Structure 1
Amino acid sequence: MFIVGLAAIVAYFIYVDAQVQQRFEGNKWQVPAQIFARPLVLHEKQEITPKELIDELTLLGYRKVTNATHTGEYHVHANQLRVKRRAFDYPGGYEPERDIRIQWQGDRISSIMFMANAQTGGRNQKTLMTKLEPWLVSRMVNGLDEDRMLVDSDDIPYLLQKALVIVEDRDFYEHYGIAPTSIIRAFFANIIAGKTVQGGSTLTQQLAKNFFLTRERSYIRKAKEAVMALVIDFRYSKEEILNAYINEVFLGQNGSVAVHGFGLASHFYFDKPLPELSVPEIATLVGLVKGPSYYSPTKYAERTLERRNLVLRLLFEANELERNEYERYVATSLNISKSKSLASGKHPAFMDKVRNELNMVVSKASERLSGVKVYTTLDINAQRRAEAALVEKVESISNSRNQPNLDAAMVVSDVKSGEIRAIVGGKDTTFKGFNRALHAQRPIGSLVKPAVYLAALENPEKYNLATMLDDVPVKMRSTGGKTWEPLNADKEFRGKVALIEALTKSYNVPSVKLGMAVGLGQVAYTINRLGIEKDIEEVPALTLGAIDLSPLQVNQMYQTLANNGVLSHLHTLTAVSSSDNELIYIRDVENEERVDESATYLINYALHKVTLEGTAKAIRQRFPTINMAGKTGTTNDYRDSWFAGFDRNLVTSIWMGADDNQPINLSGASGAMQVFIAFQDKQAPKNLARRFPSTLGIAHFDASTGALSAPGCGDILSVPAILSALESSSQPCNGESAPAKKKTKKKSLWQRLFGD
Structure 2
Amino acid sequence: MAVKVKYKGQYDSNSAVRGGRDPFLHRALRFFLVVGLACLVVGAAVFGFYYYKYQHVVDDRLNNGPLFASTSQIYAGPREVRVGQKMTAELIGSELRRAGYNSNDQLGSFQLNGDSIMIKPGPQSFHSTDGATITTPDGQVTAITAENGVALSAYELEPQLITGLSEDKNRTKRRLVTYKDIPPRMVQAVTAIEDRRFFDHSGINVGRTIRCAVGDLLSGKKNCGGSTITQQLARGFFLSPEKKFKRKLIEIMISFQLEARFTKQQIFEMYANQIPMGQRGSFAVAGFSEAAQAYFGKDLKQLDTSECAMLAGIIQRPSYFNPYKHMDRVLERRNLVLSSMVETEALTPAQAERAKAEPIHLASPNVDASEAPYFVDLVHDQLVQRLGDSDNARGALRIYTSLDPDLQKAASAAVAIGMQNVDEQVRKLHHGDSAITYPQVSLIALNPHTGQVLALVGGRNYGTSQLNHAVAKRPTGSIFKPFVYAAANVQAVNGTPLSDGNVFTATTILNDEPTTFTFDNGRQTYNPRNYKDHFHGSVPAIVALAQSLNNATISLGQQVGFENVAALARASGITAARGTPAVSLGAYDATPLDMAGAYTVFANNGVHLNPWMLSSVRNDRGEVVADFTPEARQVMDPRAAYLTSSLMEGVMNFGYGYEVRKRGFTAPAAGKTGTSHDVWFAAYTSNLICIVWVGNDDYTDIKLSGALAAAPIWAEFMNRAIKLPQYSDMKPFTPPNGVSVYRIDKGTNQLADETCPNDYSAAFLNGTQPQNTCSRMGDNEGGILSKIFGAGSSNNEAPKEPAIPTMNPDGTPAEPQPKKRNFFQKLFGAGKDKPEAQPNPQP
| Shared fold, TM over 0.5 | yes
* 1:527 pairs with one of 558, 569, 578: 569
Matched, 1:447 2:479: yes
* 1:110 pairs with one of 132, 141, 148: 141
- Written as runs of structure 1 = structure 2, the 5 A alignment for 1:338-377 is 338-339=362-363, 349-350=374-375, 353-364=378-389, 375-376=400-401, 377=403
Residues 112 and 128 in structure 1, CA contact (< 8 A), matched pair in contact too: no
- Written as runs of structure 1 = structure 2, the 5 A alignment for 1:699-710 is none
Matched, 1:543 2:584: yes
- Written as runs of structure 1 = structure 2, the 5 A alignment for 1:251-330 is 259-268=285-294, 270-279=296-305, 281-282=307-308, 285=311, 298=327, 299=329, 301-316=331-346, 327-330=350-353
- Written as runs of structure 1 = structure 2, the 5 A alignment for 1:122-271 is 129=155, 131=157, 134=160, 136=162, 140=166, 143-144=169-170, 147-158=173-184, 160=186, 183=206, 204=230, 207-214=233-240, 228=254, 232-233=258-259, 235-250=261-276, 259-268=285-294, 270-271=296-297
Shift of 1:83: 11
Shift of 1:531: 1.7
Task: Report the AA paired with residue 306 of structure 1.
Answer: L
CA distance in 2 between partners of 1:292 and 1:99 (Å): 46
Residues 163 and 286 in structure 1, CA contact (< 8 A), matched pair in contact too: yes
* 1:391 pairs with one of 411, 416, 419: 419
Shift of 1:185: 8.4
CA distance in 1 between partners of 2:753 and 2:71 (Å): 67
Task: Report the AA paired with residue 307 of structure 1.
Answer: V
Task: Report the AA paired with residue 155 of structure 1.
Answer: D
Partner of residue 451, structure 2: 418
CA distance in 2 between partners of 1:528 and 1:235 (Å): 64
- Written as runs of structure 1 = structure 2, the 5 A alignment for 1:478-497 is 478=519, 481=523, 483-486=525-528, 491-492=534-535, 494-495=537-538
CA distance in 2 between partners of 1:280 and 1:384 (Å): 28
CA distance in 2 between partners of 1:666 and 1:193 (Å): 61
Partner of residue 682, structure 2: 644
Q: Deviations over 1:532-584 (max 9, x none)?
A: 233x3221232233323333332222133222222221234445556776655
Task: Report the AA paired with residue 487 of structure 2.
Answer: A
* 2:126 pairs with one of 69, 72, 92: 92
Partner of residue 16, structure 1: 55
Instruction: Say if 1:706 and 1:91 are closer, same or farther in 2 by CA, change over 3 A.
Output: same
Instruction: Say if 1:703 and 1:292 are closer, same or farther in 2 by CA, change over 3 A.
Output: closer
CA distance in 1 between partners of 2:688 and 2:385 (Å): 26
Instruction: Say if 1:302 and 1:605 are closer, same or farther in 2 by CA, change over 3 A.
Output: closer
SS in 1 for 2:673: strand
Q: Deviations over 1:257-279 (max 9, x none)?
A: 76543323434555432222334
SS in 2 for 1:110: coil
Instruction: Say if 1:538 and 1:731 are closer, same or farther in 2 by CA, change over 3 A.
Output: same
* 2:691 pairs with one of 640, 645, 653: 653
Task: Report the AA paired with residue 315 of structure 1.
Answer: E
Partner of residue 613, structure 1: 654
Residues 312 and 330 in structure 1, CA contact (< 8 A), matched pair in contact too: no
Residues 387 and 429 in structure 1, CA contact (< 8 A), matched pair in contact too: no
CA distance in 1 between partners of 2:307 and 2:569 (Å): 57
Residues 412 and 420 in structure 1, CA contact (< 8 A), matched pair in contact too: yes
SS in 2 for 1:471: strand
Instruction: Say if 1:585 and 1:391 are closer, same or farther in 2 by CA, change over 3 A.
Output: farther
CA distance in 2 between partners of 1:253 and 1:433 (Å): 16
Q: Deviations over 1:365-396 (max 9, x none)?
A: 77776665555425322222331243133123
SS in 2 for 1:652: strand
CA distance in 1 between partners of 2:581 and 2:454 (Å): 35
- Of stretches 263-272 and 449-458 in structure 1, the one that deviates more from structure 2 is 263-272
* 2:714 pairs with one of 657, 676, 679: 676
Residues 390 and 427 in structure 1, CA contact (< 8 A), matched pair in contact too: no
Shift of 1:486: 4.9
Residues 132 and 144 in structure 2, CA contact (< 8 A), matched pair in contact too: no
Instruction: Say if 1:699 and 1:286 are closer, same or farther in 2 by CA, change over 3 A.
Output: closer
Partner of residue 117, structure 1: none
Q: Considering only aligned residues, what root-mean-square deviation do their CA atoms show, in Å?
A: 5.8
SS in 1 for 2:579: coil
- Written as runs of structure 1 = structure 2, the 5 A alignment for 1:399-478 is 399-402=427-430, 405=437, 407=439, 409-414=441-446, 415-425=448-458, 431-432=464-465, 434-442=467-475, 444-459=476-491, 460=493, 461-462=495-496, 463-465=503-505, 468-471=508-511, 474-478=515-519
SS in 2 for 1:332: helix
Partner of residue 75, structure 1: none
CA distance in 2 between partners of 1:361 and 1:198 (Å): 51
Task: Report the AA paired with residue 670 of structure 2.
Answer: A
Shift of 1:667: 4.6
Q: Deviations over 1:677-719 (max 9, x none)?
A: 4444555386443343234345899999999x99999999985
Shift of 1:526: 0.5
CA distance in 2 between partners of 1:683 and 1:656 (Å): 20
| TM-score normalised by structure 1 residue count | 0.71
Partner of residue 610, structure 2: 569
Task: Report the AA paired with residue 45 of structure 1.
Answer: G
Residues 608 and 628 in structure 1, CA contact (< 8 A), matched pair in contact too: yes
Instruction: Say if 1:488 and 1:370 are closer, same or farther in 2 by CA, change over 3 A.
Output: same
Partner of residue 752, structure 1: none
Partner of residue 600, structure 2: 559
CA distance in 1 between partners of 2:713 and 2:187 (Å): 52
Partner of residue 690, structure 1: 733
SS in 2 for 1:626: coil
Residues 157 and 275 in structure 1, CA contact (< 8 A), matched pair in contact too: yes
* 1:45 pairs with one of 84, 100, 109: 84
Partner of residue 515, structure 1: 557
SS in 1 for 2:689: strand
CA distance in 2 between partners of 1:700 and 1:271 (Å): 50
CA distance in 2 between partners of 1:165 and 1:664 (Å): 55
Shift of 1:27: 1.4
SS in 1 for 2:441: strand
Matched, 1:632 2:673: yes
CA distance in 1 between partners of 2:543 and 2:243 (Å): 82
* 2:355 pairs with one of 332, 336, 360: 332
CA distance in 1 between partners of 2:224 and 2:427 (Å): 60
Number of aligned residues: 689
SS in 2 for 1:411: strand
- Of stretches 160-169 and 472-481 in structure 1, the one that deviates more from structure 2 is 160-169
Residues 166 and 315 in structure 1, CA contact (< 8 A), matched pair in contact too: no
- Is the strand fraction higher in 1 or 2? 1
CA distance in 2 between partners of 1:234 and 1:607 (Å): 73
Shift of 1:92: 1.5
Instruction: Say if 1:282 and 1:656 are closer, same or farther in 2 by CA, change over 3 A.
Output: closer
For structure 2, list consecutive stretches of 5 or more residues without a partner in the other structure: 1-37, 101-113, 497-502, 781-843
Instruction: Say if 1:409 and 1:312 are closer, same or farther in 2 by CA, change over 3 A.
Output: same
